Amino acid sequence: MTWIVTGGAGFIGAHVVHLLSRRHEVVVFDNLSTGRLDRLPGHVAVVKGSVTSPDDLDTLFGRYPAAGVVHLAACKTAPEFPRDARHYWPDNVDGVRNLVAAMTRAGVGRLLFASSAAVYGDTGRRRVRERHRLRPVNPYGVTKVEGERIISAYGGALRSLALRQFNVVGAGSHPYAADTGPTGLLPAVFRALTDGPELVVRGHDYPTRDGSAVRDYVHVEDVARAYLRGVELLSDPRPWSPRRRRAVNVGSGERTSVLDLVRIAGRVAGAEVPFRSGARRAGDAAEVVADLGRARRMSIGPRSSLTEAVASAWESWRRHR
């Protein structure tokens, strides 16, 4: 059974591909703008193309009849949030629309969609459930809400599930594992430890315990396992209930402030992280933490601790350097 993974050469995508390809035939579809081929296992087919191109998608599905698609391709690496969603719209909204249309033409009826906790906005101190009203506070979240809406409009005609990822950290045990992206918090922490400049903690006056933003950090290997489980659920021949299973949180369920994460990274690395406080980043919520009730009922819950995730990321960072 062949599954196509869009964005499969990215940091999260590579972890998903390595795990998924142990049980299924996998084809990676990636424009390689941020993805890297050296992250991928050698036996996996790679097609270079973009979800913004209907022709690329039709060629893909014509060449590789597929049971389903894991859609991870998205624009999310802008150093600062633009003032509107136009920066993200072609990849994150038009790309979803193009993909679902191409799947329909090709008769591919299963879609596992990489959504985001950004769809929730600022949730206060409550752990957020999937039925929480979607009120994103930044343009990236707006485009993810729109992507979910496009997919859900197909109803029972498309067996789909949105995985609302929280803050993904950590690494696996392979050379592809390091997250070297320009906007992730842990890469910025590690750069401060090894190269400089000092870390800038964005926001010191949030209504939280230590003034820094509170997030839910989840190990990338737990995220990859969630995608594998999602593929299993979508492949189950029993009737699918899109209303009950339209989205599920993928997080740790633990409250961790930015300063907490900085301290954990310092302990793991055996050195104090040099940092200074800076202004809040526009569009950042004070606190967003997952309620994992639905995830655990669907066997999508996490297994790893945050310390394990940070330690794996640090070791991978050192090997990558």
pLDDT digits (tens, 9 = 90+) for 293-306: 999 999 999 999 99
| Residue 241 C-beta-side C-alpha neighbours within 13 Å | 3
Residues 107, 101: Cα–Cα separation, whole Å: 10
Which range, of 28-37, 75-84, 143-152, 216-225, averages the lowest pLDDT?
75-84
The pTM score is 0.93
Identify the pLDDT of residue 204: 92
Identify the H or E element spanning 45: strand 45-48
**Residue scoring higher pLDDT (259 or 121):** 259
pLDDT digits (tens, 9 = 90+) for 50-77: 999 999 999 999 999 999 999 999 987 5
pLDDT digits (tens, 9 = 90+) for 164-208: 999 999 997 765 677 777 678 898 999 999 987 899 999 999 999
Identify the pLDDT of residue 244: 56
* Confidence band of 78 (pLDDT split at 50, 70, 90): very low
Residue 161 has pLDDT above 90, yes or no: yes
Round the average pLDDT of the chain to a whole number and report it.
Answer: 90
Task: State which of 88-92, 241-245, 279-283 shows the largest mean pLDDT.
Answer: 88-92
pLDDT digits (tens, 9 = 90+) for 81-111: 555 667 788 899 999 999 999 999 999 999 9
Residues 6+ apart with CB under 8 A from 35: 7, 8, 9, 10, 13, 14
Identify the pLDDT of residue 243: 59
* Confidence band of 240 (pLDDT split at 50, 70, 90): confident
Identify the pLDDT of residue 319: 81
* Confidence band of 122 (pLDDT split at 50, 70, 90): confident
pLDDT digits (tens, 9 = 90+) for 17-27: 999 999 999 99
For the chain, give every domain's residue range. Answer: 2-169+217-250, 175-215+252-289+303-315
CATH, domain range 2-169+217-250: 3.40.50.720
Type of residue at 290: A
Is domain 175-215+252-289+303-315 classified as CATH 3.90.25.10? yes
Give the residue-averaged pLDDT of 144-167: 92
What is each CA distance from 144 to 18, 56, 84, 175, 195, in whole angstroms?
A: 25, 22, 13, 30, 34
C-alpha angle 137-143-148 in degrees, rounded to nearest 5: 110
* 175-215+252-289+303-315 shares the fold of 2-169+217-250: no
Q: Which of 140, 206, 217, 227 is catalytic?
A: 140
Question: Is position 217 annotated as part of the catalytic site?
Answer: no
Which range, of 161-170, 237-246, 251-260, averages the lowest pLDDT?
237-246
Identify the pLDDT of residue 148: 96
Cβ-in-10-Å burial (0-12, 13-18, 19+) of 122 comes to middle
**CB–CB of 170/313 below 8 Å?**
yes
